[in-house]
Chain A
Amino acid sequence: MRRWWPLGLAVLLALLPYGQAFNAPGTLNLLALCLVFAGLAAGYDLLFGRTGLLSFGHALYFAIGAYLTVILMNHGFALPVAALLAMVAGTAVAALLGAVALRVDGIAFSMVTLAFAQVGAIIVARDPGGLTGGEEGATIAQGMPDALVGVVNTVNLYWLALAYLVVVLVVLHRVGRSPAGRVLSAIRDDARRVGVLGLSPYRYKLMSFVLAGALAALGGTVYVLVVGGAAPHLSSSDLTLTLLVMVVLGGPGSRFGPALGGALFTFLDYQLTDYATDLPGPLAQPMFVLGVVFILAVYFFPGGLARIGVTLPGWLRRPARQEA
């Protein structure tokens, strides 16, 4: 029984558009966005939660997927070809940059990935050959399949986003249960020991980095289909930081925590932007609220939402114990 509940949840999510409350295009679009970021956060967690690599450059692979898809489609490539090429490019860049960045450990690795991703942000802002559109961003001008165009077909975008999330979770599940996945957790816990056992942590880390990059590039493709175009903030370091916040809020290393964190964060970010403008002072800034929530979560709810069943009762019990 327990084994089948994720499948049941997926079916429930797939049937969600048939419910009256969710069948408005605006709602479906927001939900689709939540699902895309759920998949992205889950993919990022392959690095952070499962391999222990704190990358600050994940936005680069997401932006490569997003921008290349738009650019290739606008140059007459069919969507499947554009998506495939974008994913191949994202994977190749991840392999190349990962091979350099993984030469250093720990925090230096974080800084180097940040620097590499910054190049992506600079290139996007510079608008080479009028491809990325600079500040304006790039919109899909042609090549959208009919099934994805128009308000009526928003539901198809929703299903596409759901399919992406399912693909990411299935891939992560398979990797997590494979021998290679166990090596990744071992690297997270003690990389030196893995080296002593005769395995090369470098190669496994690189594998994790490349796989995460490929998943992010695919996510970029799905994102531009849902949103209709790519904007420069996709390549910014802030996007990676946001992914990190999602993963930590959801629960790094857990099976569904990061995806849950990603979906919830995106939802709150959009809702707060809509409602918070009336609030006084800093509360009107969604990032202020979410940043503070994040800091509190790091202190009081380590393990995020996935472990809240353990941490919350602990906090509730603690004052009672002091009184006694």
Chain B
Amino acid sequence: MSTIVLLTVTGLGLAALYFLVASGLSLVFGLADVLNFAHGLFLSVGAYATWWAADFMPVEAAVLVGVAAGVVTAVLVELVLIRPLYRRTIEQVLVTVGLSLAGVALLQSVFGADPRPFPRPGWAQGVVPVLGARIPADRFLLIGAAVLVFGALTAFLRYTRYGLIVRAGVENREMVTALGIDVRKAFTLVFAIGGAAAALAGSLAGIYFTTVSPGTGGSLLIFAFIVVVIGGMGSVPGSAVAAILVALLQQFVNYYGGSGAGDVCVVALLAVVLLWRPKGLARA
């Protein structure tokens, strides 16, 4: 019993990471049709900024610095690199691919290729007993952060004017443009939100995995892609459901079926979902 509780909570912690990465990717893709390979870079930038800032301030404040760095990077990337290629989808993907290759190399040259130990707040290092299982406290930190972000994103999309524009743009961008609204401003906004969520995920991934390395972003990104496709592109609730599904499946099968088996199962799940519902869970 305690093993199942531990696996479930740990799986939900992983789901939180996937959701934070995938929600931004999903919105960026849904609105701007950009498959953003550089999203993993935003994550790494956030993680390294937190790691750097933690020397001067408490970790909690350093995470904010990381998130700010992620936002700045994402907005710069959108304004300087993505926007000039407006509507040339393939070129935009290519630029983000080049950026992900060059960005990882840049991080490597600045911080070295080896994993660095990540600073963790003291209260996240303890264990919390739940139903007989001893669960590391950082799992709850991850889950709590993801729930907050989910709530904030849902509220933003549902109750604000810009949220309305983003939702409408995901459904039909031409129509929004035809109504005289500059969708490109919404692109920048969505990139900023995605960059913030990814950078937060980077800091939390550092706490979860206890180290940070230039490759962290890339390895999380592949599963985030899977979550986005399973959940349905452009849907935040879809990403949330798919993240939980993917992470729990991965945790349980990896534990009971040997390491690596869970990763393969996740891809099998992707194949099944595609055959059954090619547009993802959220879009019938």
Among the listed stretches B49-57, B139-147, B257-265, which one makes contact with chain A, having 4 or more residues with CB under 8 Å of it?
A: B257-265
Give 8 new A-B contacts, CB below 8 A, not counting A106-B89, A241-B97, A291-B98: A100-B271, A111-B226, A118-B263, A284-B109, A291-B99, A291-B105, A299-B84, A299-B95
Residues of B within 8 A of A103 (CB): 274-275, 278
Kindly name the residue among A111, A123, A237 whose own CB sees the greatest number of chain B CB atoms within 10 A: A111
Residues of B within 8 A of A111 (CB): 35, 225-226, 228-229
Question: Is there a chain A Cβ closer than 8 Å to B102's Cβ?
Answer: yes
User: Are A110 and B102 in contact, CB atoms less than 8 angstroms apart?
Assistant: no
User: Are B106 and A245 in contact, CB atoms less than 8 angstroms apart?
Assistant: no
Binding site for A on B (CB under 8 A): 29, 33, 35, 37, 81, 84-85, 89-91, 93-95, 97-106, 108-110, 218, 222, 225-226, 228-229, 233, 259-260, 263-264, 267, 270-271, 274-275, 278
Can you give 5 A-B contacts (C-beta < 8 A)? A104-B274, A104-B278, A112-B270, A122-B263, A242-B101
A119 to B260, CA, bound (A): 9
Residues of B within 8 A of A270 (CB): none
Question: Is there a chain B Cβ closer than 8 Å to A108's Cβ?
Answer: yes
User: Are B260 and A282 in contact, CB atoms less than 8 angstroms apart?
Assistant: no
10 nearest A-B pairs in the assembled complex, by CB-CB distance: A291-B102, A288-B105, A285-B105, A291-B101, A287-B105, A295-B98, A294-B98, A126-B260, A282-B109, A111-B225
In angstroms, how far is the closest chain B Cβ from the Cβ of A245? 7
Majority SS at the chain B contact face: helix
Question: Is there a chain B Cβ closer than 8 Å to A115's Cβ?
Answer: yes
User: Are B102 and A116 in contact, CB atoms less than 8 angstroms apart?
Assistant: no
User: Are B102 and A288 in contact, CB atoms less than 8 angstroms apart?
Assistant: yes
Kindly name the residue among B102, B103, B106 whose own CB sees the greatest number of chain A CB atoms within 10 A: B102
Residues of B within 8 A of A123 (CB): 260, 264
Question: Chain B: which residue is nearest A111 at the CB level?
Answer: B225
Question: Is there a chain B Cβ closer than 8 Å to A184's Cβ?
Answer: no
Question: Chain A: which residue is nearest B91 at the CB level?
Answer: A298
Residues of B within 8 A of A1 (CB): none
A219 to B22, CA, bound (A): 35
Residues of B within 8 A of A288 (CB): 102, 105-106, 109
In angstroms, how far is the closest chain A Cβ from the Cβ of B117? 22
> Could you say which interface size class chain A belongs to?
35 or more
A16 to B116, CA, bound (A): 48
Residues of B within 8 A of A282 (CB): 105-106, 109-110
A119 to B278, CA, bound (A): 20
User: Are B109 and A285 in contact, CB atoms less than 8 angstroms apart?
Assistant: yes
A195 to B135, CA, bound (A): 55
In angstroms, how far is the closest chain B Cβ from the Cβ of A165? 24
A238 to B35, CA, bound (A): 16
Question: Is there a chain B Cβ closer than 8 Å to A107's Cβ?
Answer: yes
A283 to B80, CA, bound (A): 22
Residues of B within 8 A of A126 (CB): 259-260
A118 to B233, CA, bound (A): 20
A49 to B173, CA, bound (A): 27
Residues of B within 8 A of A112 (CB): 229, 270-271, 274
User: Are B81 and A54 in contact, CB atoms less than 8 angstroms apart?
Assistant: no
User: Are A281 and B93 in contact, CB atoms less than 8 angstroms apart?
Assistant: no
User: Are A295 and B35 in contact, CB atoms less than 8 angstroms apart?
Assistant: no
User: Are B270 and A54 in contact, CB atoms less than 8 angstroms apart?
Assistant: no
Residues of A within 8 A of B106 (CB): 282, 285, 288
In angstroms, how far is the closest chain A Cβ from the Cβ of B77? 11
Question: Is there a chain B Cβ closer than 8 Å to A187's Cβ?
Answer: no
A110 to B108, CA, bound (A): 27
**Which residues in chain A, 220-260, are within 8 Å of chain B measured between CB atoms?**
237-238, 241-242, 244-245, 248
Kindly name the residue among A103, A106, A294 whose own CB sees the greatest number of chain B CB atoms within 10 A: A294
Contact of A298 among B98, B105, B267 (CB under 8 A): B98
Kindly name the residue among A54, A241, A298 whose own CB sees the greatest number of chain B CB atoms within 10 A: A298
Given A111-B226, A287-B101, A298-B95 contact (CB < 8 Å): yes
Residues of A within 8 A of B274 (CB): 100-101, 103-104, 112
Contact of A122 among B85, B102, B264 (CB under 8 A): B264
Residues of B within 8 A of A298 (CB): 85, 91, 94-95, 98
